[in-house]
Amino acid sequence: MTDALTRLFAARDLIDEGRHEEALAEFVWFHEHALDEDPSLYGVRRSYALQFWTELAQQYPPARAALDGLRERAAARLLAGSGDRDTLLDVLSIDHALDQPLHARDLFVQLEKVAPALAASCTRVVLPLVIAAGDVALAERLMPDPAGTIRQHADYLMDVFRARRQRFTGAPSIPAEVYNYVLDVNAVLDVLAARGRHAEVKQLRAFAADVIPATTLRREVRTALVPGAPAWYERGVPRRRAGRAERAD
């Protein structure tokens, strides 16, 4: 384990010990310096690290203030034309961690005016936040090819499925990823339904299952996509029990 990761998980322990100021210092250090030590930590930096930070923020207001300040400074750089794609991804990751999709939507709308190329480079990342914000008109505009969007989600699911067939894999569990896939597909379908595109909704619901080439997995997906179907954890786990892991972008 790298020193950066050691410090991150030590910071998580500091929260449990009530040493909040020290934990905050470690989260700030990780956000600012972890990639200098190991560039492959970009995913951890925008997922687990922010998740731990928001846990601290719920107990320690200065941690929330620090996170808000970091986000607002990054957003200001973007709107001033001095930020880049990594800066935007940082802001969107914080919006996701804080469950504030409206902030992401509002920033994206402003950014389309001042830096349209930069905004366009992050369309796929911002789309789920726009949907969560309830802006179906913008979501529809950002999703000119709904079938292509669903296919991207299907490709990810198949990548996980293939990885899980290897021994000693750390890939996410298949039942959890079927659940995630169905959530993603239904989010697309909900946008189309809200815009009155009901014929496409029916076609794409069938497409979302048909596009899965693995027979067993396709059957699981088709069952889960039936409107009103119980979640996978209510129907039981597929024959091969999956291990523990979480999805990361």
pLDDT score, position 1: 72
- Residues 113 and 11 occupy one common structural domain: yes
Domain that holds residue 228: 146-235
- Residues 52 and 163 occupy one common structural domain: no
Of 107, 135, 163, the one marking the end of a domain is 135
Residue 93 in this model has a pLDDT that exceeds 90: yes
In a domain, 240, yes or no: no
- Residues 122 and 56 occupy one common structural domain: yes
Number of folded domains that form the chain: 2
161 Cβ neighbours under 8 A, 6+ residues apart = 174, 177, 214, 217
- For 184-197, what is each residue's pLDDT tens digit? 999 999 999 999 99
pLDDT score, position 205: 97
pTM above 0.75, yes or no: yes
- Residues 51 and 95 occupy one common structural domain: yes
Interatomic CA distance for residues 213 and 151, integer angstroms: 12
In a domain, 231, yes or no: yes
CB count in 10 Å sphere of residue 91? 25
Residue 219 in this model has a pLDDT that exceeds 50: yes
pLDDT score, position 175: 84
Of 84, 105, 135, the one marking the end of a domain is 135
pLDDT score, position 200: 97
- For 53-87, what is each residue's pLDDT tens digit? 999 999 999 999 999 999 999 999 999 999 999 99
